[in-house]
Amino acid sequence: MTTPAPHETLFDRIAALLPFENRQEFYRRMTHLRNLGPNDEILQLAEAMGYLALITRQAPVEIAAERTKIEELLEKAMAELEHSLNAHNIAALLSESLRQQFEASGLAANGQLLRNTANDFSEALDTFLDPARGALARLSGSLARMQADLDNAACHIRALSRSLAQDLHRALAVVAIGALVLGFLLGAHVQWIK
């Protein structure tokens, strides 16, 4: 807002905003207000309305001026920003930042550790599955030896069973013959006693 001259009143400033042909009518209506005391409510209300009229009249012009200044500053800032931003430089900065973040995260070390673990696992699996010396080959050999031992034990048990059966048959034959001889002897003894 513009600063008023020292002898200029609020009503003079409002009148200056009016077209020349309307000023006399305005002053004629305001003469009544000049006669009121400084604490009169109607005068205070009229002055408040006058200030509002001044503000509503001057504010759009000042806002437009400020807007123009802001737009000029914004355009200047955008031009400087476009000039300072280079796609190649930004890409290089981003690439370096990403590389540093990747190294700081420990993913590279974890990846190497996973590769080493995978290699160790692969070697262990190759050793385990080796057809000549692997665990499957040793297990297969052990199973074959166990089968041979079981077959040998089964043959030995069959041979012992046959031998036991033969011995049992002989023993039964001896008992049967002994019982027959005893029966004859007892029968002869009984006949002789009679």
Q: What's the pLDDT score for residue 68?
A: 92
Most confident of 2-16, 29-43, 172-186: 172-186
* Gap between the Cα atoms of 26 and 20, Å rounded: 10
Torsion over CA of 124, 128, 131 and 137, rounded to 10 degrees? 160
Residue 108 in contact with residue 102, Cβ under 8 Å? yes
Each residue of 150-185: pLDDT tens digit?
899 889 999 998 998 898 899 889 999 999 999 998
Q: What's the pLDDT score for residue 112?
A: 81
Is the predicted pLDDT of residue 50 greater than 80, yes or no? Answer: no
Strand, helix or coil for residue 39: coil
Each residue of 52-89: pLDDT tens digit?
777 787 788 888 888 899 999 988 888 877 766 777 77
Least confident of 33-42, 110-119, 151-160: 33-42
Is the predicted pLDDT of residue 1 greater than 70, yes or no? Answer: no
Beta carbons within 8 Å of 13's beta carbon, 6+ residues apart: 4, 50, 54
Across the chain, mean pLDDT equals: 82
Cite the DSSP H helix spans in the chain: 10-17, 20-34, 41-84, 87-105, 107-129, 135-193
Torsion over CA of 104, 105, 109 and 114, rounded to 10 degrees? -170
Residue 124 in contact with residue 117, Cβ under 8 Å? no
